[in-house]
Amino acid sequence: MNREFIKSSVKWGVNNEGYFGDFGGAYIPEMLYPNVEELRKRYLDIIYEPGFQDEFQMLLRDYVGRPSPLFHAERLSAKYGTTLYLKREDLNHTGAHKINNTIGQILLAERLGKKRIIAETGAGQHGVATATVCALKGLECVVYMGEVDIARQAPNVARMKMMGAKVVPATSGSKTLKDATNEAMRDWINNPVDTHYIIGSVVGPHPYPDMVSRFQSIISEETKIQLKERTGSENPDIVMACVGGGSNAMGMFYHFLDDEDVRLIAVEAAGLGVNSGESAATTALGKEGVLHGSRSLLMQTEDGQVVEPYSISAGLDYPGIGPQHAHLFKENRGEYVSVTDEEAMIAGRLCAELEGIIPAIESAHALAHLEKMVFTGKESVVICLSGRGDKDLDTYMKYFNL
Amino acid sequence: MNRLNRLFQNKKEPLLSIYFTAGYPHLDSTLDIAEAVEKAGADFIEIGFPYSDPLADGPVIQNSSHMALQNGMNLKVLFQQLKDLRKRISIPVLLMGYVNPLLQYGVKNFCDSCAAVGVDGVIVPDLPMYEYENLYKDNFIQNNLSNIFLVTPQTSEERIRKIDELSNGFIYLLSSSSTTGKNLTVSNEADAYFSRIRGMQLKNPTMIGFGISDIKSFNKAAEYTRGAIVGSAFVKFLDTENALERIPEFIRSIRP
């Protein structure tokens, strides 16, 4: 048994009670307890099985196309006066980092003997990644998606259907990601035995935040090896990623958590501006609370009702943040900043023009923060380019009148 | 010993509890409904405080919660409304809701406010046992509040024993693992589950909830436990014409 596989940080990782500092836990109704408890008891043993690791690594290599390249973006580097590398998660099968997690969870679900998979999705990237692995493994797949998102993400809905998934509209509340998550949890309550819920981000009750970050940690594991080959040192000065729930950022930060001279910068979506009332900048606007089964930071009213977030990017349009991020924020291990819709769109276009890479609008948020940084010229920066912008062409076209 | 404990101790007939959402259908309907429910003969009342993301609830209670929030209901308003609770209502009253509004109000404040207005117990489905025991139990006990835990057909015996140890009112048995508002299915499986719990000889009494909507399901529940809780069926009824005056009729349709 290889306990070194996806090793967790002692200082920043989850504790025995499922908490990261003050955040995390499993705030779930009793109806979900047996499912979550089964997962909690077995997830580490299963992912430490050699058979699991072999299959996980084989699928990441042969099916996803890993390792994803670490690309030295020379023209962007010249523009900002720094050495910038892009971790190309956009080149993965299905076009984003989401598939790292769904591969891990489908292998886990198989070993738990589950026959039916459910998932929530916002923009559809996680839904597509889930439908993909269900087709690969021949498991029934039901994806909950807000009615509003179904209308604005038609190509991803078609992708899921083409791979045999059933897409169920979430018609409650604001009819977006938060409500799709509620519906998926209700489905799990009503199907307590044969179903596994593949949560798409580092949110939800323990063990999900820890489990999903372990599956995404391949991002920083590869980055270290690639940087070492390239520069002789496995650590850059700065690592950056966008954050909605925070799964690509957690994967990008994971193996740098204990290297405390590496700055970790997480970029949230400010929407129309942090104080505009139309924003998804959770660390700036949120207070401690409980949503979707964990204690974290959450955008809410004074009496604890969840506030509807806003961002031009559907993948960052979430009123909470993973509990481990809340911990890194509170303890100042990570720097949590935000950029507006406009700043992100401009950065997305700039990346396309200077590097020939059209980033997802989510990832463009991370790029946009470069504008606000001051470099001496000696720093090396790695940005997680979490997804490709094909799904966002419609938004880019409208925004820039292309 | 609070009103709830005394009720379970003194009354031998099957008990009926009615759930409804505070602030629904109108912001001010809370106490009027409670009073009508008591007059119609229910044994105790559960008043739901609304939350924007009620993930254990089916469409009926999702809708009543949503409407109540639209009407302006929150915990501050509710405790204001309940100031005169004990002038108008004498049966036990529980508050039921999700943990986040409670955390924002402050758990200690919440327990103090409950005691001040004469609430006897609390049901918070997503407050975990671990956090209750380690962080909040003292607040509940100091205010003589019963904390009610849920049990499903999938809950292990070991966990039920632990719940029994931590409980001081009754244990809420879910008829099946489901969100609220489904019909009770009287299957062999359900029979075996209810019998199993009865055979455990728990120190706390039990009640069955989720899926109780008529005489048949109420009687079934009373066969195995001290009685039943009706939620979605009553909330749905509140949406019908002249519901407030017709509450006795509704109660008779469950327990004649």
pLDDT single digits (tens) B94-121:
999 999 999 999 999 999 999 999 999 9
How far is the alpha carbon of A291 from chain B, nearest alpha carbon, in Å?
A: 8
CB-based contact B174 A300, cutoff 8 Å = no
The predicted structure's pLDDT at residue A356: 98
Strands A263-271 and A140-146: what pairing?
Answer: unpaired
- Residue B101, chain A, CB below 8 Å: the answer is yes
Determine whether A338 is an active site residue: no
DSSP string, A31-82: GGHHHHHHHHHHHHHHHHSHHHHHHHHHHIIIII-PSPPEEE-HHHHHHHTS
Find the DSSP H helices in chain B: 3-10, 29-39, 59-70, 75-81, 85-88, 99-105, 107-117, 129-131, 137-142, 157-166, 188-199, 215-224, 232-237, 247-254
Amino acid found at A30:
E
DSSP string, B35-63: HHHHHTT-SEEEEEPP-S--TT--HHHHH
pLDDT single digits (tens) B200-238:
999 999 999 988 899 999 999 999 999 999 999 999 999
Catalytically annotated residue among B53, B57, B133, B191: B57
Determine whether A379 is an active site residue: no
Q: Say if residues B161 and B149 touch (Cβ distance below 8 Å).
A: no
The predicted structure's pLDDT at residue B190: 81
Taking 50 as the pLDDT cut, the residues of chain A under it are 1-2
CB-based contact B103 A289, cutoff 8 Å = yes
Tell me the whole-structure pTM to 2 decimals: 0.95
User: Is the predicted pLDDT of residue B23 greater than 60, yes or no?
Assistant: yes
Residue B151 phi/psi, 5-degree rounding, is -130, 140
CB-based contact B104 A289, cutoff 8 Å = yes
How far is the alpha carbon of B2 from chain A, nearest alpha carbon, in Å?
A: 25
pLDDT single digits (tens) A26-62:
999 999 999 999 999 999 999 999 899 999 999 999 9
What mean pLDDT is predicted for residues B47-56?
95
Residues of B in contact with A24 (CB under 8 A): none
Which residue numbers of A have CB closer than 8 Å to B's CBs? 17, 25-31, 33-34, 172-173, 178, 182, 185-186, 189-190, 192-193, 287-293, 298, 300, 302-306
In terms of CA atoms, which chain B residue is nearest residue A287? B104
Q: Which residues contact B45 (CB under 8 A, 6 or more apart)?
A: B17, B18, B19, B20, B34, B37, B38, B89, B91, B92, B93, B94
How far is the alpha carbon of B174 from chain A, nearest alpha carbon, in Å?
A: 9
Q: Give the whole-angstrom CA distance, residue A53 versus residue A14.
A: 21
What mean pLDDT is predicted for residues B236-247?
96
- Residue B140, chain A, CB below 8 Å: the answer is no
Q: Give the whole-angstrom CA distance, residue A164 versus residue A158.
A: 10
Measuring CA to CA, how many Å separate A61 from each of A57, A64, A68, A254, A283? Answer: 6, 6, 9, 20, 35
The predicted structure's pLDDT at residue B184: 67
Reported as type and span, the H/E element at residue A384 is: strand A380-385
Residue labelled with tokens 């990623």: A241
The predicted structure's pLDDT at residue B186: 62
Average pLDDT over chain B, rounded to an integer: 95
CB-based contact A25 B131, cutoff 8 Å = yes
How far is the alpha carbon of A132 from chain B, nearest alpha carbon, in Å?
A: 27
Q: Give the whole-angstrom CA distance, residue A203 versus residue B208.
A: 32
CB-based contact A303 B155, cutoff 8 Å = no
The predicted structure's pLDDT at residue A1: 41
Q: Give the whole-angstrom CA distance, residue A390 versus residue B65.
A: 39
Measuring CA to CA, how many Å separate A342 from each of A184, A320, A349, A394, A400? Answer: 32, 22, 11, 16, 11
What mean pLDDT is predicted for residues B168-178?
90
Q: Give the whole-angstrom CA distance, residue A56 versus residue B163.
A: 39
The predicted structure's pLDDT at residue A4: 58
CB-based contact B154 A33, cutoff 8 Å = yes
The predicted structure's pLDDT at residue B181: 73
Cβ atoms within 10 Å, residue B26: 13
